[in-house]
Structures are given as C-alpha cells and as structure tokens.
Copies of this chain bind each other. A is one copy, B any other.
Amino acid sequence: MGLVNPAEATALRSEFEALQEDYAQCLDDDRVEEWPDFFVEKGVYRIVPRENDDQGLPIAILSCEGRGMLVDRVFSMRHANIYAKHFYRHLVGRARWLGEHATGIHRFQTNYAVFRTLDQGNSEVYSVGRYLDWVVRDQGALRFVEKRVVYDNTWIDTLLVTPL
C-alpha cells in the first residue's frame, strides 16, 4: 500500500471494517488464542482512558508491546485469573479513514460499544469509546501496528480479564 486514491481508500476502508468485525467476533466467541494474530510481530495494544488521551497523555492502563506480550496476556487470562463466567459482545461503527500515517500504514477511528452479560444475569453496557488503529498489510492480511482503545468511562474493571 503506497499513497492511495479515493477508490483505493474506499476499498481499504471496507477491508479494514471486515478486520474490525473479525476482531470483535473473535473476542466475543472467546477464541482469544487467535487474538495476537491480528497484530504484526511488533504490534502494540493499549487501553487508554479518554481523559488522558484528550490531554495528550497516552498513559495506558494496559500496554502490550509485541506479539509475545499479547500471547502472555492470553496465557494469564486463561490460567491465572479467577473470575465469574461472563460473555462480551462488541458492536463497532463504520470506520473513518484518517489518512496514511507513514508509507503503507493507515490510520482509522471507529466507535465501539461492548456489552457484558454475567452468568445468570442481564446484559449491561460495559465499555464505550473509540478505537484508534494503525494498520499495515503484512503477510497478505491487514494487521494492527498499534491498536489503541480509548474508553469513555472513567471506571473500568481493574482485573480486566479480556481485551476490548
């Protein structure tokens, strides 16, 4: 992907939206072992409160740098945490293409909502916010160079057992 023209931008956005949906349904289906594969080898994943991001303070409450740390995160989720069973469900909006950040790296912003359903319970709004994503074509597929989850709610479950 070099510099893009409008038709390429439309095709790219469509492909990116399919990536977002695959990502969302991977997490919702609890196939979290596949999650690191959405990132490039040195891919970065961060969860940042909106207040910090708005002030240009990218202080993350969770930060994973490189696929190895993502794999570790999955391992600790599966083996270390004790938690009640619950389901997550993502809804993502349409993506806005924010331009080509560097050669072949494209930036998108997308609104999201995640709902959580506790065992024996009703569904509730768990987290809403925006994804800021930098993607590149890598080994035939779009992958995240960085995925930054900027969430609106000031409170978030500190155990945070699953990626957003």
A35 at the interface (CB under 8 A from B): no
Residues of B within 8 A of A124 (CB): 125
Closest to A115 in B: B128
How large, as a class, is the contact surface on chain A? Answer: 35 or more
Is the pair B96, A130 in contact by a Cβ cutoff of 8 Å?
Answer: no
The residue that A89 contacts in the complex, of B22, B24, B128, with Cβ under 8 A, is B128
State the oligomeric state as a number of copies. 3
Closest to A122 in B: B153
Q: 1/0 per residue A55-94: CB within 8 Å of B?
A: 0000000000000000000000000000000010111111
The residue that A90 contacts in the complex, of B18, B111, B117, with Cβ under 8 A, is B111
Q: 1/0 per residue A21-37: CB within 8 Å of B?
A: 11011001000000000
Given contacts A24-B111, A89-B130, 17 further A-B pairs with CB under 8 A are A18-B96, A21-B94, A24-B93, A28-B111, A89-B128, A89-B152, A90-B93, A90-B111, A91-B112, A92-B93, A113-B113, A115-B152, A117-B128, A120-B154, A120-B155, A123-B127, A123-B153
A residues with CB within 8 A of B: 10, 14, 17-18, 20-22, 24-25, 28, 50, 87, 89-96, 109, 111-113, 115, 117, 119-125, 127-130, 152-155
